Amino acid sequence: MKNTILIIAITLISLTGFAQATIVDQPEKVTKYVTTFPNGDEAITIIESSNSNVLKLTSADNFYKYEILELANHELVHRSKNRGKICDIDKSKLEDGNYTLKVYTSDFVITSDITISNKNGESIKVIN
């Protein structure tokens, strides 16, 4: 009886250790999404890593703020001021769903529709 319990305990410990090692050893997935101007030049770029809750937003021009709005009713969900061409967006503060991203420069507003999904390494998709 003791041997049976010991074998079961060792088996369970081994399986638990194997499952944890499988999750930790998954490679990082990096995805780059680009929105372009009508002439084909890059307007904004969003870089997402599956191992991070941060989206890196880069603009061709300096921008002073960005806004994230609900796609259906254009209700403001998140906004932030910025100086320069780069900022980080914490995607974990956004619920899964469809949004409109607006990036404000001194000359124009760049708009993209995006989808946020915080599941299974998928995080953002530009719909344009």
Q: Dump pLDDT digits (tens) for 10-66.
A: 666 665 554 444 445 567 777 788 888 889 899 999 887 777 888 899 999 999 999
pLDDT of res. 102: 94
Locate the domains of the chain by residue range: 30-126
Coil, helix or strand at residue 2: helix
Question: Coil, helix or strand for 11?
Answer: helix
Overall average pLDDT of the 1-5 stretch: 67
Topology given in CATH for the domain delimited by 30-126: Immunoglobulin-like (2.60.40)
Q: Strand, coil or helix: what is 58? A: strand
Q: Strand 76-81 relative to strand 86-90: parallel, antiparallel, unpaired?
A: unpaired
Across the chain, mean pLDDT equals 79
Pairwise CA distance, residues 8 & 107, whole Å = 68
Distance CA 119, CA 19 (A): 18
In sequence order, which residues have a C-beta less than 8 Å from that of residue 117 and are 6 or more positions away?
96, 123, 124, 125
Question: How confident is the model over 75-86, as pLDDT tens digits?
Answer: 999 999 999 999
Site of tokens 């709005």: 69
Residue written as token pair 């001021």: 81
Predicted model pTM: 0.68
Who wins on pLDDT, 123 or 13? 13
Instruction: Burial-class residue 25 by CB neighbours within 10 Å (0-12, 13-18, 19+).
Output: exposed
